[in-house]
């Protein structure tokens, strides 16, 4: 990349790094700086950026770091200025930082200033007063000029940003973070509207930042209206996500959460199969071949490539046919689909969709459809004999696949083996025999949403995708 393009790129990446730095603990900053410097020394894809980030991180701590290339203290002043910290002398040190960075990257000083500072802040030093009060004013102006606009990302923006590889990685990490206590996730709030044959849910959550990802907070407003496709020509599930800066509370992005929900749901199923299905699984069956099923298949392809034979079943044959012709696979009966090594159920969960007699020993089932009280897709006899892994205790017992058998006494809570997060981080290990059936009971966690929304937002900001709107007054 040419220096100018590099600097433009840098400017677009800065906001996320700054938000993260504001809330990061010192030990974490040091660890991250060390990792970045190692990456730079190994000649990563953008080593100069890694170096720069490492300097910023170290210098913010007041350490000497290795400051041969950049003037000591200057980048931290720039960082402070851009983070909106009123530090004395910040203006002068910002100029030093600009000149130092320009020297390192052999770029014209004005290009650096333009790239690092928003246009209105870029001024020639000759015209700027150097006295302390002017510097204070400059720092204040920098603070007030902080970009407070919100990035609006439509469904097509989200689709173009979405990478199933990233979704799977983000969701796996979200489950692990939750199991390690690095997330906050109040219980989902349900608004049940029987008169409209549907419900709404509000799903807030926060995940801490670490290993290169900034902390993130947000809330999803999402519904489940199973009759929507037939009655209104709309998807059963639609949603909107608000991603906020945990440090300042600014709404960073408002994005379509319909695709986000399907992607993170598909990713969760694939992550569960990765950790629970028998090694060498060769067939995957879908019972319910709607929207979630498509994303589940996509996500499984991230883990298994094209190694899985795909069988699709649906109570509505047209749905199975359209799934198979668009995404690959063969239309079969529900019984045949349930006989696969991996079974993904994503029906509305109002009628039993999978019988015990159809399921073979050694099968892993992703039970995705039951995500509200009273919903159930599997014959309770499957659960009685299976190793049950849930996504989260409160949600699963309240509204997951196990909620009905628990309420009827067909299942006891102590028959639940673990959460998926516990399996991922290794605190619980299923003693899996070749005969064992495993069931992942998914209700859908808010941490999955915030983790994926964070990735989408960071990618959108770096590609300048979406529409920036002054949504809230600042």
Ligand X SMILES: NC(=O)c1ccc[n+]([C@@H]2O[C@H](COP(=O)([O-])OP(=O)(O)OC[C@H]3O[C@@H](n4cnc5c(N)ncnc54)[C@H](O)[C@@H]3O)[C@@H](O)[C@H]2O)c1
CB 261 within 8 A of CB 235: no
Structure tokens at 241: 């996500």
- Give CA–CA dist 283/273, Å, rounded: 12
CB 94 within 8 A of CB 83: no
Beta carbon of residue 312, minimum distance to ligand X (angstroms, whole number): 10
Site for ligand X contains 316 (CB under 6 A): yes
Q: Is 207 left (phi over 0), alpha (psi -120 to 50) or beta?
A: beta
Quick one: 116 or 287, whose CB is closer to ligand X?
287
Query: Interacting stretch for ligand X, rule CB under 6 A, among 6-14, 130-138, 364-372, 416-424?
Result: 364-372
Residue closer to ligand X, measured from CB, 75 or 290:
290
Cβ-Cβ contacts under 8 Å for 35 (sequence gap 6 or more): 211, 212
Binding status of residue 315 toward ligand X by CB under 6 A: yes
265 lines the binding site for ligand X (CB under 6 A): yes
Nearer to ligand X, 179 or 344 (CB): 344
Minimum Å distance from CB 80 to ligand X? 42
**Which of 94, 205, 273, 292 is the binder for ligand X (CB under 6 A)?**
292
Q: For residue 390, state whether it binds ligand X (rule: CB under 6 A).
A: no
Q: Confirm or reject binding of residue 223 to ligand X (CB under 6 A).
A: no
Distance in angstroms (rounded) separating the CA atoms of residues 53 and 460? 20
Rounded least distance, CB 233 to ligand X, Å: 12
Closer residue to ligand X, CB minimum distance, 190 or 304: 190
Q: Shortest Cβ distance from residue 146 to ligand X (Å)?
A: 36
Residue 339 binds ligand X, judged by CB under 6 A: no
Q: Which is nearer to ligand X, 105 or 440 (CB)?
A: 440
Q: How many CB atoms lie within 10 A of CB 196?
A: 11
Closest CB to ligand X among 207 and 263? 263
For residue 101, the minimal CB distance to ligand X (Å) is 45
Is the CA virtual torsion 117, 121, 122, 123 positive or negative? Answer: negative
Should residue 363 be labelled a site residue for ligand X when binding is judged by CB under 6 A?
no
- Interaction between residue 290 and ligand X (CB under 6 A): yes
220 is catalytic: yes
316 CB contacts (<8 Å, ≥6 apart)?
Answer: none
Instruction: Kindly tell me which residue out of 176, 319, 332, 447 binds ligand X, with binding defined by CB under 6 A.
Output: 319
Q: Is residue 403 at the binding interface for ligand X, with CB under 6 A as the rule?
A: no
* Burial (Cβ within 10 Å: 0-12, 13-18, ≥19) of residue 45: exposed
- Decide: 442 and 388 in contact? Cβ < 8 Å: no
CB burial string 232-257: b at 16+ within 10 A, e below: eeebbbbbebbbbbbbeebbbbbbbb
Cα gap 351→388, rounded to integer Å = 21
Q: Which residue has the tokens 């100069």?
A: 48
Closer residue to ligand X (CB): 151 or 274? 274
Residues within window 229-248 making contact with ligand X, judged by CB under 6 A: 229, 236-237
Find the shortest distance in angstroms from Cβ 207 to ligand X: 17
Could you give the maximum distance between any two Cα atoms of the chain, in Å?
A: 83
Give residue number: closest CB to ligand X: 290
Residue 191: closest CA among 373, 446, 370 = 373
The one catalytic residue among 137, 166, 188, 220: 220
The answer to whether 158 contacts ligand X (rule: CB under 6 A) is: no
Q: DSSP secondary-structure letter at 148?
A: -
Active-site residue set: 220
Residues that bind ligand X (CB under 6 A): 224, 226, 229, 236-237, 261, 265, 287-293, 313-316, 319, 334, 346-349, 351, 353, 368-369, 371, 442-444
């Amino acid at each position: 990349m040419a220096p100018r393009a590099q600097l433009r790129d840098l400017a677009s990446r800065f906001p996320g790094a700054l938000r993260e730095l504001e809330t990061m603990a010192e030990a974490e900053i040091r660890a991250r700086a060390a990792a970045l410097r190692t990456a730079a020394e190994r000649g990563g894809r953008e080593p100069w950026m890694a170096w720069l980030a490492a300097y910023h991180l170290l210098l913010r701590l007041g350490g000497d770091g290795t400051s041969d290339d950049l003037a000591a203290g200057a980048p931290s002043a720039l960082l402070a200025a851009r983070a909106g910290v009123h530090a004395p002398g910040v203006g002068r040190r910002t100029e030093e930082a600009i000149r130092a960075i320009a020297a390192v990257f052999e770029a014209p000083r004005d290009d650096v200033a333009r790239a690092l500072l928003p246009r209105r802040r870029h001024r020639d030093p000759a015209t700027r007063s150097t006295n302390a009060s002017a510097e204070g004013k400059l720092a204040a102006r920098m603070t007030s000029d902080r970009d407070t606009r919100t990035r609006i990302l439509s469904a097509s923006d989200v689709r173009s940003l979405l990478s199933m590889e990233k979704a799977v990685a983000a969701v796996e990490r979200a489950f692990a973070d939750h199991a390690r206590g690095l997330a906050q996730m109040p219980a989902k709030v349900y608004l049940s509207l029987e008169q409209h044959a549907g419900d709404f849910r509000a799903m807030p959550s926060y995940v801490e930042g670490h290993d290169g990802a900034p902390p993130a907070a947000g809330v999803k407003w999402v519904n489940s209206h199973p009759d929507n496709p037939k009655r209104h020509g709309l998807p059963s599930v639609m949603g909107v996500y608000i991603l906020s800066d945990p440090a300042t509370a600014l709404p960073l992005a408002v994005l379509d959460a319909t695709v986000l929900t399907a992607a993170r749901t598909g990713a969760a199923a694939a992550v569960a199969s990765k950790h629970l299905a028998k090694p060498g699984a060769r067939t995957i069956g879908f019972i319910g071949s709607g929207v979630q099923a498509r994303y589940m298949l996509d996500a499984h392809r991230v883990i298994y490539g094209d190694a899985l034979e795909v069988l699709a079943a649906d109570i509505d044959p047209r749905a199975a046919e359209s799934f198979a012709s668009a995404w690959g696979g063969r239309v079969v009966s529900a019984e045949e689909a349930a006989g696969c090594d991996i079974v993904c159920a994503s029906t509305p969960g109002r009628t039993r969709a999978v019988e015990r007699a159809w399921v073979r020993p050694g099968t892993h089932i992703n039970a995705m459809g039951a995500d509200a009280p009273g919903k159930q897709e599997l014959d309770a006899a499957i659960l009685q004999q299976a190793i049950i892994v849930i996504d989260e205790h409160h949600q699963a017992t309240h509204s997951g696949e196990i909620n009905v058998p628990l309420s009827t006494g067909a299942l006891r809570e102590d028959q639940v083996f673990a959460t998926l997060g516990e399996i991922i981080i290794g605190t619980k290990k299923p003693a899996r025999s070749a005969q064992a059936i495993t069931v992942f009971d998914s209700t859908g966690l808010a941490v999955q949403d915030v983790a994926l929304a964070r990735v989408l937002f960071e990618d959108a900001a770096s590609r300048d995708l979406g529409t920036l709107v002054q949504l809230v007054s600042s």
